[in-house]
Amino acid sequence: MIAFNVVRFKVKPGMDAAFLAAHQGIAESWSGLRHANIIQTGEGRYCIIAEWESMEALAASRPQMIATLDSFRETLEDLGGGMGVTDPFAGPVVLSPK
């Protein structure tokens, strides 16, 4: 069953290019990734929305996702409220109306 994950980030001022550059190679290193987009949701605020072959594929790629995060962690601001630098969500598709 297809799965998605969404992760919210807040990038430090002047670090947008480094944040985006760190994601250039994810297609090769995140096994099971079908498609990904990074959207800008505000000044220095981004979300990555990724489609995976399955929840198992997503889970198996977590070490590679963490390695990618570690490569640009210094570009991120803490989101506050004890969240740290990311706000991740993931789950299987339960309805696909189109």
What pLDDT was estimated at residue 3? 97
Residue 65 lies in a domain: yes
Q: What is the CATH number of the domain that holds 21?
A: 3.30.70.100
Residue 98 lies in a domain: no
Domains in the chain: how many in total? 1
Residue 66 lies in a domain: yes
Residue 64 lies in a domain: yes
Q: Would you give the DSSP letter of residue 11?
A: B
Residue 95 lies in a domain: no
Residue 18 lies in a domain: yes
Q: Which domain holds residue 44?
A: 3-90
Calculate the average pLDDT of the chain: 96
Give start and end residues of each alpha helix (H) in the chain.
Answer: 16-21, 26-29, 55-60, 62-72
Q: Using one digit for the tens of pLDDT, what is the confidence trace for 29-66?
A: 899 999 999 999 999 999 999 999 999 999 999 999 99
Residue 15 lies in a domain: yes
